Structure 1
């Protein structure tokens, strides 16, 4: 007997068990799956350039190598620019540390005068908090090591995925029955288009936001405004949550390097304006993915991605769910889940429609008996 013919509690138990098993496997194999996921998305992004080079009679392996070289040069340029800014920041680190210690001392005295908490007790509480954060620090170090592993494995995975693309596509077609070939073709085509438009749109959005952040911070006189503005633009790639963290960095820098609170207020106002422009103009027009995920689901999947794979999971969550939505929209039994992920909000829910129909039937006059 099929699962769908079983009672609801058996179906829900089977689905829940399958999800738990899937999540467990994904956590245990994170070191393998995360580089493969990044490589798959980047391979889809580089595929148009590889195809164009091949149309000019460039050998396949050389076309892939040229496309990867272009990507590496672009990434290296960004890292070189950021490293020069970080070097300047390092030169002023002792001065910033002294200023931060002075602000911390004033804050401790204010807490003692206002709430009656002794400075020694405050220091003990801070020490306990630091001791409790050692586990988090260890996870962060592991995350950094995992990121380095990704960097070294990515080129290999990307090259092999692009080289064996026909083999992978043939497998996807052959693993499903022939009558589903049209659906498989549509899913693959829409997935490719969605990933390409999403990643390219994000890169363009990041450059524009970095320029606006840096210009605002430089005009406000925040030290290392270009570096902090670029970091804020990178954090902005994490939907909804990254923007909040990005505001804290320039506010903290302004607090350490400047007297008063006018600069901090200016930073908050400037970032609110930039976020408004980003959310209402840049994202709808530039991040023009064919698959739109609503805000509620975006926040939930970003948090789930962080719980599953850390920072890497936060970056991968949105394009991964976009691919899932494409698949859900093509399978009849999963279409409700696709609608739940999407941003097409109906004006009325099904319950209201059913109640309205029943009311209309109730007020209709009954036909007289002939």
Structure 2
């Protein structure tokens, strides 16, 4: 007779769950080079699927419609890349002057540290050299991640094409894996997952364009050099939930410090970015980014950091839609509904313990009330 895990003591249940999580994380970390491109391709395939379906209605073959859809997507990406690269070329022409100005600012900063904190310049240089030496491993990891990213870029179109081509085969597999009585739940989960991913990614793209325009306009008004390039980079970083916006502020502040005298421009940049972040978090995200992806702020930060630890920058971008899919699944399975509530942003006014205490006190009052005897 089979023994069910849920019938065992708590310490056995928790050990089994912990072992399963450790095994899952080990597999995800070991197969990073395979799973990351597939994950990106799956999300992109879901996003492009409506376009391919629409082309098929015009009597095109499935392969041809998918090919035209991919070609259109690649043209759009190539246009954005060309625009950013042209801005970077202009930045490269001013790089020697920026390096010279940065060296002057660094020298002045070292002199200020020596006068204020009594740390000799030689010791400061030694500390910097030690920090740079310790950062070589991180640099190598970053370059390795960049090479991996280039590999993803070349593999993505292939994966997306075949995922769209074999979509029916994959869906039939998912239906047949589960029992027939669960078919309606499977269909509901797949439908909601598709809608959530499509609306979430489209919402992110619209949000990124609006934030890029606001960033660039603010930096142009403040007179910061390469405003459009820095504004677009800041909008891309803003795709990393909660953390990217903070990192994006450093770029224009650094550029203003190198290219301008005084600190009024830096203060203006900080104020402008705070206003833009307020607009983004309170207006754009709730109204433009899909309302079906309801992940609370605490879980968003935690899963972004976990994604970074597991898959680096790719993991930070994939973490939120991945957890959104998990929440849709959790909400459809009775045993996993508490986990879905934990991920969601619906905050109850009272916790269950307080309700139990309240009902206990009420029951006690009823039993001791003399009018009831």
Normalising by structure 2, we get a TM-score of 0.98
1:333 matched residue in structure 2: 335
**Is 1:366 aligned with 2:349?**
no
1:276 matched residue in structure 2: 278
Residues 76-155 of structure 1 mapped to structure 2, 5 A cutoff: 76-155=78-157
Which residue, 311, 315, 318 being the options, matches 1:316? Answer: 318
| In 2, Cα distance between equivalents of 1:242 and 1:182 | 39
| In 2, Cα distance between equivalents of 1:368 and 1:49 | 71
Structure 1 residue 362: deviation in Å?
A: 3.1
Structure 1 residue 58: deviation in Å?
A: 1.1
Secondary structure of the 2:292 match is coil
Secondary structure of the 1:259 match is coil
Structure 1 residue 305: deviation in Å?
A: 0.1
**Is 1:302 aligned with 2:304?**
yes
1:176 matched residue in structure 2: 178
| In 2, Cα distance between equivalents of 1:132 and 1:369 | 77
Moved more, 332-341 or 357-366: 357-366
Structure 1 residue 366: deviation in Å?
A: 2.9
Moved more, 355-364 or 131-140: 355-364
| In 2, Cα distance between equivalents of 1:320 and 1:109 | 49
| In 2, Cα distance between equivalents of 1:138 and 1:369 | 78
1:144-181: per-residue Cα shift (whole Å, max 9, x none)?
01100000100110000000000000000000000000
Contact 1:43 1:162 in 2 (8 A): yes
| In 2, Cα distance between equivalents of 1:362 and 1:35 | 60
| In 2, Cα distance between equivalents of 1:351 and 1:260 | 57
Give the gaps of 5 or more residues in structure 1.
none
1:219 matched residue in structure 2: 221
Which residue, 63, 66, 74 being the options, matches 1:64? Answer: 66
Normalising by structure 1, we get a TM-score of 0.99
1:252 matched residue in structure 2: 254
In angstroms, what is the RMSD of aligned CA positions?
A: 1.0
> Cα gap change, 1:369/1:286 in structure 2, threshold over 3 Å: closer, same or farther?
closer
Secondary structure of the 2:290 match is coil
Structure 1 residue 360: deviation in Å?
A: 2.3
1:166-209: per-residue Cα shift (whole Å, max 9, x none)?
00000000000000000000000000000000000000000000
| In 1, Cα distance between equivalents of 2:116 and 2:212 | 40
Secondary structure of the 2:293 match is coil
Contact 1:49 1:67 in 2 (8 A): yes
Structure 1 residue 350: deviation in Å?
A: 1.1
| In 2, Cα distance between equivalents of 1:228 and 1:368 | 75
Secondary structure of the 2:338 match is helix
Residues 189-208 of structure 1 mapped to structure 2, 5 A cutoff: 189-208=191-210
Secondary structure of the 1:65 match is helix
1:3 matched residue in structure 2: 5
Structure 1 residue 369: deviation in Å?
A: 8.3
Aligned length: 370
2:232 matched residue in structure 1: 230
Which residue, 330, 341, 348 being the options, matches 1:346? Answer: 348
Structure 1 residue 363: deviation in Å?
A: 3.1
Secondary structure of the 2:342 match is helix
**Is 1:290 aligned with 2:292?**
yes
2:76 matched residue in structure 1: 74
1:342-369: per-residue Cα shift (whole Å, max 9, x none)?
0111111111212222222333353568
Give the gaps of 5 or more residues in structure 2.
none
